[in-house]
Amino acid sequence: MSITVLVTGGAGYIGSHTCRHLLDAGCKLVVLDNFYSGHRWAVPEDATLIEGDVANYDLVRRVLREHEVGAVIHFAGHIVVPESVREPLKYYRNNTVASCHLLQACLDTGVDRFIFSSTAAVYGNPVTLPVAENAPTQPITPYGTSKLMTEWVLRDVSASRKHFRYVALRYFNVAGARSDGTLGQATPEATHLIKVACEAACGLREGITIYGTDYPTPDGTCIRDYIHVDDLAVAHVTALRYLRNGGDSQILNCGYGSGFSVRQVIETIREVSGIDFSVTEGPRRAGDSASLIANAERIRTVLGWKPKMQDIRIICQTAYDWEKTYLRMRRSARQMP
């Protein structure tokens, strides 16, 4: 695809993986990141890197014009659910208000193709599983609400501007790493289960806590639909191609349609690592729903998306292999003069 793409949050976990797939597809990349949770080393060398914030309207407008950007993929955002409960304004400022500034810059410079990093948290505690895109949106946390509000903004902007089209991708639980071991999740103080369990297997944590064992699920722990980060990255490239070919605005689930409990995931990490790390049980965590499993038929039908990493063992294995690599990277960095 001969197009220049602005990737906000391109130094982060999902953004950096997507950047590599965009380059493979022939795109030119401009990455905008404030390094709140991203890393410079995660940005491909072939991308133009600009340090800054998406809320800076003047900066974003200048970047869009100077680089003749044709599309935006917007990853930049805060994602820690319990933190959003404690600090809701932080999430509304960064996830909703900053997105409005970014969209205004897009409209003012004629950028009319936009892909948004949304979340399955917009569904809250769905009544019917697997949950489809037309299910009621009833988020139970400021994180989910802040993302849903941005979806509403996109809907209204699209309705008001004839040529503006978008795809909002509602992620379920993203995990795993590149199979070649060159890139993975390096988020500081991560809270996602597979990442935390891999850190425990590598000795970086004393153990792991299961937050809630009394949920209405077969083993009492939360159930989630886990999607490999590379499959999700490909979904963004496919969405961009769809918009370039004249596709209408869409909201699409990104998951596999199968769920695994916290206990099942922990046992899988133990199996792939060969490490029997400590597991304790604790009270429920604010903002956690009992079960979230995607009905992902629409993304396959509309975009022609064909996932290749649809196996919880592969997800856990690649995540663990990356964690060992990342541990070596950090140890080497400390030893450097």
| Separation CA 53–CA 9 (nearest Å) | 9
Complete DSSP assignment for 278-295: EEEEEPPPTT--SEE-B-
Contact yes or no for 303/234 (Cβ under 8 A): no
**Polymer length in residues for the chain:** 337
Helices marked H in the chain — which ranges? 13-24, 57-66, 81-86, 88-91, 98-109, 142-160, 193-201, 229-244, 262-273, 297-303, 312-335
> What's at 245, amino acid-wise?
N
Angstrom CA distances, 77 to 119, 180, 222, stand at 11, 27, 24
Q: Name the catalytic one among 13, 143, 171, 215.
A: 143
> CA 64 to CA 82: how far, in whole Å?
34
143 included as an active-site residue: yes
How far is 96 from 221, CA to CA, in rounded Å?
Answer: 31
Q: Could you give the residue numbers annotated as active site?
A: 143
